[in-house]
Amino acid sequence: VAGGPGGGGGLGRSHALALARDGARVVVNDLRPDLAAAVAAEINATGGQAVAEPTDVADRVAVAAMVARVMQQWARVDALVCNAGLLRDKSFARMDMADFDRVVAVHLGGSANCCHAVWEIMRAQTYGRILLTTSTSGLFGNFGQANYGAAKAAMLGLMNVLHIEGQSTASG
């Protein structure tokens, strides 16, 4: 599962194409259905296997439904690349808190939703890899990116805990 919004362009597209070149079946997730479909078509045209899934990763129910469709079609999820992202840059003093909430919902919430949707699948398979895309804005900060930096820093915490729990077969 790669990207979204973003699996249809930029880094997410690069992830999807590289995974497909290596033989992975790819779910291209992007809020922009036309871009997701274009990347999936590009992969399929070169002999790969891909489907487009224009799902909002901040929507837990929609993510679970997307993963259920993937399981129905391919019966496995071996890797998850969380590359969802959007920017709503503005200094904190001028930031609309709805923009703060949306950025956190997509970056952190979307990553958590996607990870949670595949977690038990990967445990049952006794195999799975998860990649979360973060940013130096989360490590060092960047003017006008309080929302983005906070979400990306929180993703580091999520990654660290999942790394620990993923090593334990008894993790719940």
Q: How many residues does the chain have?
A: 172
CB 109 within 8 A of CB 82: no
Single out the residue of 82, 81, 99 nearest to residue 90, CA to CA.
99
Q: Look up residue 52 and give its two tokens.
A: 């487009």
Distance from C-alpha of 6 to C-alpha of 95, rounded to nearest angstrom:
23
Catalytic residue among 80, 130, 148, 151: 148
Annotation marks residue 148 as catalytic = yes
Q: Phi and psi for 135 in degrees, rounded to 5?
A: -155, 155
Residue 54 parent element (H or E)? none
Cite the active site residues.
Answer: 148
